[in-house]
Structure 1
Amino acid sequence: MPLAPLALVADLVARGVAVSAEEEPIVNVYLDVASALVRDAAGTPVSQTTSTTTLEGDGSLRLRLPGLPVTSVSAVAVDGQAVTDWTLRSGVLVRDAGWYGDVQVTYTHGLPAVPSDIVDLVCRLVARALVEYRSGDPLSRPVTQERIGDYSVTYGGQEAATMALSAVQRARLAARFGAGPALVRSR
């Protein structure tokens, strides 16, 4: 099941961006795309969700779960066998017997409410894309071909609106939400 966007059309309207009924379908696509960009940079869903993931146990007593903050764990299995001799501490599963093999975990993680600065970031990305979309008026595009006999004009194709986060924005999201390796261990 896909995650809900990190911002809604109502959030755009609240920031002064007018969205007509005809534009709502494309704006919803842009909201999904912008949300995916932010989630990718953050390395986490940001908004609260329940996930099942398989992690490789390395024998240590602690197993860090991705997608902070972790609020609850509903099931843990090691190599397909359910285990209950663990505790959850600050997003880490602790087990006296250690974690070996493939560890499958079902857990709830992410923030219960999307922070306002994240909503604003998504809205800014969408607003820029919407401006590009709106400038797609054929009269504002360059003429790429013109024929005089039986008059014909071909306008340059409209490129899809592009969205991207700057390197600084990506780094800030990664630092804030813990994307990337938390610990590098050598053997």
Structure 2
Amino acid sequence: MATTDYLAEPADLAVWLGVPADDPKLRQALAAASSRFRGAVRHPVTAVTGDVVTVDGTGRESVPLPAAPVTAVSEVRLDGALLAEAADFSWSSDGYLRRLGGQVWPDRLRCIQVTYSHGYEVVPEDIAEVVIDQARALYTVLPGVQTRQVGGQSVTFGVQAAIGVTAQWTAAVERYRLNAGDRP
């Protein structure tokens, strides 16, 4: 996995763990934590250019795109017909396409094709922080173990080991999650 696939820098995690940044276990923990965050927020987070997606019409003025922040929309096609920005549609960085001129998107599946760019060029600090925190736990905590005793010393792992995430993780996921309204 390339460094750009991580949502935090291996060197930053290495400082916390006291191991080299190229340690395979460190990199695997960072990859797993990054993957978990992306899965939780339901988009890649990092910058993607020229992504082509097909979305469903809603029968409403706006449709959500599957990733944000949106940084550019280069093409929108409705049932194959090219639409003009500012005349037929507008878009927001929050990830919405809005139909203009009193029009609405048709209430049909897979009728809108969008070519757009989205994501963060630099991963926000709060995301990197929770990914590092999760990677630290993945690196150091033995799965399923809450307490470990060796000789006269005992270590009890905190609530993160028992439930898998911290309150900071949950807050960051809520802040960056997209399309949360479609969950049952």
Question: Could you tell me the TM-score, scaled by structure 2's length?
Answer: 0.67
Which of structures 1 and 2 has the bigger CA Rg? 1
Partner of 2:98: 94
Partner of 1:47: 46
1:42-101 deviation digits (Å, cap 9, x = unpaired)? 223222223322211122222222322211112212223332232223432122332224
Pick from 114, 129, 138 the counterpart of residue 120 of structure 1.
129
Q: Percent identity?
A: 32
Q: Does 1:12 align with 2:21?
A: no
Alignment of 1:1-187 (within 5 A): 4-13=5-14, 15-20=15-20, 24-50=23-49, 51-84=51-84, 85-90=88-93, 91-96=95-100, 97-100=103-106, 101=108, 102-132=111-141, 165-166=164-165, 168-169=167-168, 171-182=170-181
- The alpha-carbon deviation at position 121 of structure 1 amounts to 1.6
1:90-139 deviation digits (Å, cap 9, x = unpaired)? 43212233222421112112222112222122122222222247xxxxxx
Q: What is the CA–CA distance in structure 2 between the aligned matches of 1:110 and 1:25, rounded to whole Å? A: 27
Moved over 6 A (4+): none
Q: What is the CA–CA distance in structure 1 between the aligned matches of 2:118 and 2:127, rounded to whole Å? A: 17
- The alpha-carbon deviation at position 183 of structure 1 amounts to 7.7
Q: What is the CA–CA distance in structure 1 between the aligned matches of 2:163 and 2:52, rounded to whole Å? A: 29
Tell me, yes or no, if the aligned pair for 1:11 and 1:119 is still in contact at 8 Å.
no
Most deviating of 110-119 and 168-177: 168-177
Question: Could you tell me the TM-score, scaled by structure 1's length?
Answer: 0.66
Structure 2 residue runs without a partner (length 5+): 143-148, 150-160
DSSP 3-state at the match of 1:57 = coil
DSSP 3-state at the match of 2:46 = coil
Q: What's the C-alpha RMSD, in Å, of the aligned pairs?
A: 3.3
Most deviating of 98-107 and 82-91: 82-91
Partner of 2:153: none
Letter aligned with residue 13 of structure 2: L
Q: What is the CA–CA distance in structure 1 between the aligned matches of 2:177 and 2:135, rounded to whole Å? A: 25
Letter aligned with residue 89 of structure 1: S
DSSP 3-state at the match of 1:72 = strand
Tell me, yes or no, if the aligned pair for 2:70 and 2:92 is still in contact at 8 Å.
no
Letter aligned with residue 125 of structure 1: Q
Most deviating of 33-42 and 106-115: 106-115
Structure 1 residue runs without a partner (length 5+): 134-139, 141-161
DSSP 3-state at the match of 1:30 = helix
